[in-house]
Structure 1
């Protein structure tokens, strides 16, 4: 099955005023370095550890999985972020999730922080951790600590090292995911760069998804956390691949202040500009995760418009994008609109189904499928052509108000079963 998601058009990136898209990821901002290493934690033929390092201590913000079962690194990072400790390094491994591993697994987080502190010459309180992979297996700590030494020796601030780090954190992902933007704050150039991984066990309320975002902005911890927390509901929490909420979801945002801008405080105009730029990075990474769903051949975007409230719009959009029947219809390029209306009906949102309009759109064109809850006289051949593109959008208009929301997912193919049936092997 041909994988096309890495070639999804970037033309849909909504550049805000006073903001530019630039090349790079986690090393694009001043003072950030990265590295990748092959530690043999699970994979024998590829890198499986990454380091993100800041030359100066950072304010840290984070959002985490809403699964009651939380992996050891999630618990560790929650403690670090809540404590207010300045963070200077992120250690990430792929292949083993360090989830459901008890006190031993949590102890390995402490061992990781100690090893990183020693190798990098920083405080162990300033080390956060990410893990992704198989649940229930213990980390081979000797391999991990050996990998940390390699990472410390290889780190630099090149864009290539940032890309290598983005590749090292992948599991079933088929390509690395990274983006960087710049904006002006008080006459100074501020950069925000990020990398993410995610392909399966992806569902709203965070997913088997790790995202690490770096910025050289001088910004208060309060403003940093509010900017991140306020954005996840419209980005990472609006994607789904398979309906499984992971144990390891983590988004970390680090700010080292090296841009030299006037400090950004919550509620200011500079804060609003920073939050808008952060949203661009988060939305881009979230869409790349959705489009790289396991076995997927298409990014499926769902827009719920004409809603009474944002909450109603989110419920409708997420219900459609999470519908397995709808996702298989997209895989078959079949305009089976009844599945979409059905998914809207069990979403929990109240609306009049006899007022709903539905449209499909892609680079091949736009077509209306239903009007006021019933089918219009449309061409099945034209609909199939539109649904055969690598990016497909469904827009549902419930004609109740002016609120809207967008969710992202992918088609559901035989490839998803093939990947997950033998994941541990």
Structure 2
């Protein structure tokens, strides 16, 4: 059950000039569902990506990294669901390369101009014959208005499609930002079992876009967690077609800050939608750590709370057993933490201060907040001036059921 996940109508999803998308059913894992998507990019489109740090990086992640490093113009993306092509060794690499070669042949480009992506079950061979057989239908379906269909086509255990779209006036030009993401479980920063594709018709110099992609990931997809598991296939891609007439080549350009903010906002929306649709989620929680000495310790505390199964199950039950939060803060790894300076709030309710329970705190106030679908947990460490935020969800019975039955 998704938590306040807003799905735009198709009329509110703006096409991005220079980006075409085709979606089809290839029967990669199950018949009768959209599971193969192709993006075709206009010449001149800049592309940059951020990928998982899992040492078992899937074959498509390794191929994407190699193709981006080659520095050629990226012409197309190909995305399959139902099979992760991870933990598949050299055979998986060959199947991934075969996919790129066939799409390149059909589009009359070179294989290293293709970026492949896969998501689904790990440790199973990719049915490349079915994937390749579906490519002509995906190409025949190419068009500018298929974002919503693509959002459906990249889903696995997601219950709802995740789309963000906006237009802004920047530098005297109308600039479009549209993206899709998928992910519901095995979500943990660096990154998650998620795919995110964000496009704009602004022009961005390739080296600058590479830097922006890392920075934008750090304030969006690297600030979410569902269960602490880092997947093998995580990929976040930004495409900039340049067809709006706005061109940004340097961080010193007048339009840079506004463009960066717009892309960051779109990525953050896509990332938070993943948490809102997390497997079995009933609560969306914002963990904000204030007065930290630096970003590293702020995130240590935020993730310690966000990952705690005891905290997450308490939120699911709407049980203000808030000592669990204090315990998670205490084992976050800040050895010199002065607990007498710490304060803890649930929304506007001050729960703990001066090393213990707030004398004015009433459990009924805590329970009132815990029953909400969206909850802010504020933690002030009393160590400095740094603030950082992580987004997470509760753990329900459905999370266990979904993952126990995933391959059924």
* TM-score bracket, shorter-length normalisation: over 0.9
Structure 2 residue 196 is matched with structure 1 residue 211: yes
- Return the match for 2:177 from 182, 192, 212: 192
Corresponding residue for residue 74 of structure 1: 61
Structure 2 residue 285 is matched with structure 1 residue 303: no
- Return the match for 2:341 from 355, 366, 373: 355
Q: Which runs of 5+ in 1 are unaligned?
A: 11-21
Take 1:186 and 1:325, find their aligned partners in 2: how far apart are those partners? 49
| More displaced stretch, 40-49 vs 164-173 | 40-49
Summarize the alignment of residues 92-131 of structure 1 with structure 2, pairs less than 5 Å apart: 92-131=79-118
Corresponding residue for residue 278 of structure 1: 263
Corresponding residue for residue 85 of structure 1: 72
Q: CA deviation at 1:52?
A: 1.8
- Return the match for 1:419 from 396, 402, 405: 402
Corresponding residue for residue 388 of structure 1: 371
Secondary structure of the corresponding residue to residue 269 of structure 1? coil
- The 1:379–1:8 alpha-carbon spacing in structure 2 relative to 1, beyond 3 Å, is farther
- The 1:249–1:4 alpha-carbon spacing in structure 2 relative to 1, beyond 3 Å, is closer
Query: What per-residue deviation string (whole Å, max 9, x for no partner) do you get for residues 391-422 of structure 1?
Result: 11101111222210000111001111111112
TM-score norm. by structure 2 comes to 0.94
RMSD of Structure 2 on Structure 1 (CA) = 1.7
- Return the match for 2:130 from 119, 143, 153: 143
- Return the match for 1:36 from 3, 20, 23: 23
- The 1:57–1:43 alpha-carbon spacing in structure 2 relative to 1, beyond 3 Å, is farther
Q: CA deviation at 1:9?
A: 6.4
The answer to whether the Cα contact below 8 Å between 1:60 and 1:84 also exists between their aligned partners in 2 is no
Summarize the alignment of residues 288-299 of structure 1 with structure 2, pairs less than 5 Å apart: 288-299=273-284
Structure 2 residue 33 is matched with structure 1 residue 46: yes
The answer to whether the Cα contact below 8 Å between 2:2 and 2:160 also exists between their aligned partners in 1 is no
- Return the match for 1:342 from 305, 308, 327: 327
Corresponding residue for residue 45 of structure 2: 58
TM-score norm. by structure 1 comes to 0.91
Take 1:50 and 1:325, find their aligned partners in 2: how far apart are those partners? 39
Take 1:267 and 1:209, find their aligned partners in 2: how far apart are those partners? 32
Q: CA deviation at 1:333?
A: 0.7
The answer to whether the Cα contact below 8 Å between 1:63 and 1:250 also exists between their aligned partners in 2 is yes
Take 1:367 and 1:100, find their aligned partners in 2: how far apart are those partners? 47
Secondary structure of the corresponding residue to residue 247 of structure 2? coil
The answer to whether the Cα contact below 8 Å between 1:223 and 1:271 also exists between their aligned partners in 2 is no
Summarize the alignment of residues 168-183 of structure 1 with structure 2, pairs less than 5 Å apart: 168-183=153-168
Query: What per-residue deviation string (whole Å, max 9, x for no partner) do you get for residues 71-123 of structure 1?
Result: 00000000111111211211111110000111111111221112212333333
Take 1:412 and 1:384, find their aligned partners in 2: how far apart are those partners? 17
Take 1:9 and 1:371, find their aligned partners in 2: how far apart are those partners? 36
Take 2:169 and 2:68, find their aligned partners in 1: how far apart are those partners? 27
The answer to whether the Cα contact below 8 Å between 1:8 and 1:391 also exists between their aligned partners in 2 is no
